[in-house]
């Protein structure tokens, strides 16, 4: 593996250090593919050395001693400032090409790499193939196609109503790129939640610094090796590293930040963005309640809840996090949940090809600690060496139990008993607002009551996992802003 020098950004005076004249072997743990560089940055006053190394796309001039983190960000900012804005001789709404439609070819190449290699080379990590196709590749293809069909309309000038002060003016909104966008992606859907915001940012004409999760090493590797072959390489850089490197990255000024992850890290991201008055999109998840009314078909409810709760081994931000129902409904729901789990994963879920594994030992140990809450009614089997936790249902759970104090993010479903619909609404409204809310009932009045008295993002009666496809109004902690190109352009 070697490195190569790339042409300078037009109009930019480089610092007085020598440019790499030829390929030089550096010996890094992660080889870079064509059109990318993996190099350790130099230590010095601009930044300390990053132990995880640094991967950046071309379009940047690289010094012999390696670029600092600050230098990479500055060059991306210069590239963003050189993005073409709308000119007088351009038609309004004319898209700014960035090569992002080629992301579809990247997805196909990633899938081929997954088929041809072992676990460490997979595109979407330790997910079953069907889940990966549905939740990662399929959604990304849909997002690319959506942007291709609608981008020209999204970018058109938007006429606005005039008031007394603007009666003699031409009043319209013209969309322009923010500039340099930072995308910090999570590990649970590392392809989907990396490429979907990337499509929006590039389609809107921005340059992007991409920070994939260091936990999903499979996807991180594929993004590093394969993605630079398919994008306009002057408009993005990929940064590798852990929490320390992410913290150093956030010290720099960006024009927009897109973050998906936990509320704890979301606070850090928002505080860092506030220092530069940088607008942000935060998608933070939450404990999503699922109310099951007495008037419902328990097997239908169980099928939908089990599918969404245990999809991707429960590591989904919009999955039902706990169930609220009466004791009588619980008695009918438990055998139905057992039937659904058997139907989806067989008599022995551990050997089922449709059940994934927990992402890491750290998360496995956290989830194993939650199994002590209440009483295990279904499942509960674990194998730390395989990061395996069986699809589990807990009963006799109290509000003060650990499993109710944090987002579970695993294949564990606690059931809490409530005496009435009003008690369930009161319980939810006294907690932090969730990302999604589910209500199952054959009565039309129950879902209507939820929409009128509770706030989630958004409220959905019956079909689970629908909120991931819906526009969000931006509730308190769960989600802020949105991802499509019209929202990533001023």
- Tell the burial category of 190 from Cβ atoms under 10 Å away from its Cβ (0-12, 13-18, 19+): buried
Q: Checking phi first, is residue 90 left (phi over 0); if not, alpha (psi -120 to 50) or beta?
A: beta
Q: Give CA 430 to chain center in angstroms.
A: 27
The pairing of strands 256-260 and 280-283 is: parallel
C-beta separation of 362 from 421 below 8 A: no
Residue whose pair of structure tokens reads 């390696």 in the numeric block: 66
DSSP letters of 169-189? S--EE---B-SEEEEE--SSS
Cα-based distances in Å from 213 to 21, 113, 114, 160, 440: 32, 19, 18, 41, 35
- What is the rounded CA–CA span in Å between residue 269 and residue 247? 9
Cα-based distances in Å from 100 to 206, 229, 302: 11, 11, 40
- What is the rounded CA–CA span in Å between residue 73 and residue 46? 12
Q: What is the dihedral of CA 19, 24, 29, 31, to 10 degrees?
A: 90
Residue whose pair of structure tokens reads 């930044």 in the numeric block: 47
Within 10 A of 1 (CB to CB), how many other CB atoms are there?
Answer: 13
317 is catalytic: yes
* Bond into 458 cis (ω within 30): yes
- What is the rounded CA–CA span in Å between residue 242 and residue 248? 10
- Token pair of 445, please? 């009045």
Per annotation, catalytic residue among 140, 283, 290, 407: 283
DSSP letters of 96-159? ---SGGGHHHHHHHHHHHHHHS-GGG-SS-SS-HHHHIIIIIHHHHHHHHHHHHHHHHHTS-EE
- What is the rounded CA–CA span in Å between residue 183 and residue 393? 35
Per annotation, catalytic residue among 76, 111, 207, 317: 317
Q: Is 47 helix (H, G, I), strand (E, B) or coil?
A: coil
Q: Catalytic residue positions?
A: 283, 317
């Amino acid at each position: 593996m070697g490195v190569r020098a790339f042409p300078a950004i037009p109009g930019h005076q480089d610092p007085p250090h020598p440019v790499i004249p030829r390929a030089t072997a550096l010996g890094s743990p992660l080889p870079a593919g064509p059109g990318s560089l993996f190099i350790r940055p130099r230590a010095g006053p601009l930044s300390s050395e990053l132990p995880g190394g640094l991967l950046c796309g071309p379009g940047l001039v690289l010094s012999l001693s390696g670029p600092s983190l600050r230098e990479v960000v500055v060059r991306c900012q210069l590239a963003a400032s050189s993005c073409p804005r709308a000119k007088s001789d351009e038609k309004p709404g004319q898209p700014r090409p960035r090569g992002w439609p080629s992301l579809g070819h990247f997805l196909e190449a990633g899938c081929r790499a997954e088929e041809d290699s072992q676990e460490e080379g997979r595109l979407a990590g330790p997910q079953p193939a069907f889940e990966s196709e549905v939740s990662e590749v399929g959604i990304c293809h849909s997002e690319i196609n959506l942007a291709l069909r609608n981008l020209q309309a999204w970018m058109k000038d938007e006429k606005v109503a005039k008031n007394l002060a603007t009666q003699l003016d031409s009043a319209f909104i013209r969309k322009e790129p923010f500039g340099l966008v930072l995308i910090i992606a999570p590990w649970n859907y590392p392809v989907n939640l990396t490429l979907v915001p990337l499509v929006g940012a590039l389609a809107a004409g921005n340059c992007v610094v991409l920070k994939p999760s260091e936990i999903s090493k499979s996807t991180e590797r594929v993004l590093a090796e394969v993605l630079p072959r398919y994008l306009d390489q002057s408009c993005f850089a990929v940064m590798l590293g852990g929490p320390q490197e992410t913290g150093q990255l956030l010290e720099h000024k960006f024009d927009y930040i897109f973050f998906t992850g936990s509320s704890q890290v979301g606070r850090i991201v928002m505080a860092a963005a506030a220092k530069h008055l940088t607008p942000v999109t935060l998608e933070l998840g939450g404990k999503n309640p699922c109310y099951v009314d007495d008037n419902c078909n328990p097997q239908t409810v169980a099928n939908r809840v089990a599918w969404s709760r245990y999809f991707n081994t429960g590591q989904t931000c919009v999955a039902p996090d706990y169930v609220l129902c009466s004791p009588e409904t619980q008695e009918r729901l438990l055998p139905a949940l057992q039937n659904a789990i058997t139907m989806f994963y067989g008599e022995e879920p551990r050997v089922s090809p449709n059940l994934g594994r927990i992402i890491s030992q750290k998360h496995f140990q956290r989830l194993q600690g939650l199994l002590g809450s209440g009483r295990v009614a279904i499942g509960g089997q674990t194998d730390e060496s395989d990061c395996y936790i069986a699809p589990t249902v807990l009963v006799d759970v109290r509000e003060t139990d650990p499993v109710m104090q944090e987002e579970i993010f695993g294949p564990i479903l606690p059931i809490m008993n409530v005496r009435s619909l009003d008690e369930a609404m009161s319980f939810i409204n006294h907690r932090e607002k969730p990302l999604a809310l589910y209500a199952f009932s054959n009565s039309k009045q129950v879902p209507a009551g939820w929409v009128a008295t509770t706030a989630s993002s958004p409220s959905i009666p019956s079909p689970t996992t629908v909120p991931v496809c819906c526009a969000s109004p931006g509730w308190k902690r769960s989600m802020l802003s949105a991802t499509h190109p019209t929202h990533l352009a001023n």
